[in-house]
Chain A
Amino acid sequence: MYYIELVWEYMKNYMKSRLTYRADFWVEVISDLMFQFTNLIFIFVVFRHTNSLGGWSESEIVFVYGYFMIPYGLFSCFVNLWGFSERYITKGEMDRIMTRPAHSLFQILLENLDPPALMGSLIGTIIMIVSGVQLGIHIEWWHIPALLIMVVSSVLIYTGIYTALTSISFYSDAPTGILPLMYNLQAYGRYPVTIYNRFIQILLTWIMPFAFVGVYPASLFLQREDMTRMALVTPLMGIAIFAVGLTCWNMGVRKYRGAGS
């Protein structure tokens, strides 16, 4: 309850400070959407040349992409660790965080909220609905709670992976170059993993489980039986990966040394 209240308070303050720069807000929303849109165009271009991709139709892949946008938007809004190393370690703002009575990771996430990214989730939902109608999916009562659980799990997976990777900053002073690599890798999860070779399939499922933020949970609603089992594993994976990330973080904080003087 305490934490939910804090999210609301920080959100209000974000609005207060940011809405004064209204143009900035909209530029961010639009550039974000453009970015997603180019990815979508890529899918359309591919399907100019073929009718199916590893047994998946265009609408199905667009549906998966729509699903992906929902957790991705939430993740971008609430978990923004891009500048962590520079801002909190090098400049020493971590000191301030550590003297406040709330979990350090939580405080940092709150200070870096990015609400414009939520627009992506909205668009994603629309894409899902449109392509779902095209595919003739009947919405059943359990779709709604299932979608919620899947989305939350997917967000937890992203959060876990990025938290774990960001924790490296506690050990080395120099910012690590691994995040852009992850950024490229995560794009792979938006497409059916079956189109990749065995190695990448294993990588995306068990090592860097980006497939759980996209194709696996989405397949539950597409009723693709080949992946239903994996879809049901998503919540477990979410909890496990998040726990790993949080553990890495807590270990890192203990190692934190603080910027000079």
Chain B
Amino acid sequence: MLAIDVQDLRKTFKVQKNRGGLKGAFLDLLSREYTEVAAVKDISFQIPRGEICGYIGENGAGKSTTIKMLTGILVPTSGHLKVNGYVPYKEREQFVKGIGVVFGQRSQLWWDIGVIESFHLLRKVYQVPEHDFKARLDELVERLGLQDLLSRPVRKLSLGQRMRCELVAALLHNPSILFLDEPTIGLDIVVKTEIRQFLKSLNEQFGTTILLTTHDLQDIEALCSRVIMLDDGNIIYDGSLDELKNRWSRGREVHFQFGSNHSLTRLMELTQGLPVEWTPENDLAAKVWIPLEINVSDVLGRIVGSTDITDIKIVETNTDDIVRQIYQSGSANERIEQEKASERLLHV
């Protein structure tokens, strides 16, 4: 069964056009002009139950807007949407009982009262039976190590502590789908790892479907079997992370450190016939870019014997670089070209 089913989902906002200057401000007062801006442009995707899916994209790509439609906060402009068997904005109150939501930038907890009191209040709001609540709370507290924090007011918690409490708050009613909007934003590496492990085990143990947006690709690498990438309101990639890497990574870089002055022309001569690119760094160092279809050892073989090398470092393109590349490759045409190029590489 599908946890999330989205078809041709679209959301447009009316944005007021402001004319400049004092005169413009007066004119705006009398007659306003609006422009329609589409934040999400007819996207479709399906997420089966039990999947952990990463939802990535630049700021303003439409991630949060999508999440807000999926959680019933925003009403879509057009398109079909079914989450957990409900149309979120239509049967909101019934629907939200089955989902958990964590917005990394905003707290779900009450600021003034103790953490445990917030949890008790949520129990009442979600109408969780006392017995289930106790068992679940004990387990979550145990797993996230919150024993000492429970009596403290939320405003006195550190960000990492608060985030763990937010997770508990979102899970007390045992939701089958968990939405996380930037859950690791601003957290240190230890807490990040802890949260990732926790989510992973949650998914394995209860089969909770998780959809998370993030800017930290390590979250994705650690958790997600699938990535959906959004750009300017359109889905530009939907598939596994490995495939994404293969499709977009275009080569490796080898950094050389030389014992004596090298000459770039000499290096180029040595690698003549191979489609590699040399970049000088300084008198004693240079790097070469090697496309995927060429073996690194071929290049090394030609260089090593004839030059005085003290150090070699091979750098694989990492996910951050790949994603940055995709984000930066502005227009769609360029993207298609790149896609063609990478396709060619794959077929070799």
- Interface residues of chain A, those whose CB is within 8 Å of chain B, are 2, 5-6, 9-10, 13, 16-17, 92-96, 98-103, 107, 254-258, 261
Contact = CB atoms under 8 A, between A and B. Distances in A.
Contacts of B108: 96, 99
Contacts of A5: 124
Contacts of A100: 96, 125-126
User: Which size class do B's interface residues fall under?
Assistant: 20 to 34
B106 interface: yes
A99 B71 contact: yes
A254 B75 contact: yes
B180 to A, nearest CB: 12
Contacts of A17: 110, 112-113
B74 interface: yes
18 contacts: A6-B124, A6-B125, A9-B121, A13-B121, A16-B113, A16-B117, A96-B107, A98-B72, A98-B96, A99-B72, A99-B99, A254-B89, A256-B74, A258-B64, A258-B68, A258-B73, A258-B74, A261-B105
A101 B59 CA distance: 30
Interface of B: 13, 59-60, 64-65, 68, 71-75, 89, 92-94, 96-97, 99, 101, 103, 105-108, 110, 112-113, 117, 120-121, 124-127
Given A5-B124, A256-B73, A102 B93 contact: yes
A99 B96 contact: yes
Nearest to A261: B64
Contact of B127 (A2, A16, A256): A2
A95 B106 contact: yes
Contacts of B74: 256-258
Nearest to A173: B16
Contacts of A103: 93
Nearest to B107: A96
B29 to A, nearest CB: 12
B280 to A, nearest CB: 42
Nearest to B72: A98
B73 A95 contact: yes
Contacts of A95: 68, 73, 103, 106
A234 B74 CA distance: 37
A92 B127 contact: no
Contacts of A99: 71-73, 96, 99, 101, 108
B4 to A, nearest CB: 16
B110 to A, nearest CB: 7
The 9 closest A-B pairs by CB, nearest first: A17-B112, A98-B73, A99-B101, A101-B97, A9-B124, A101-B93, A101-B96, A17-B113, A261-B64
Contacts of A2: 127
Nearest to A18: B112
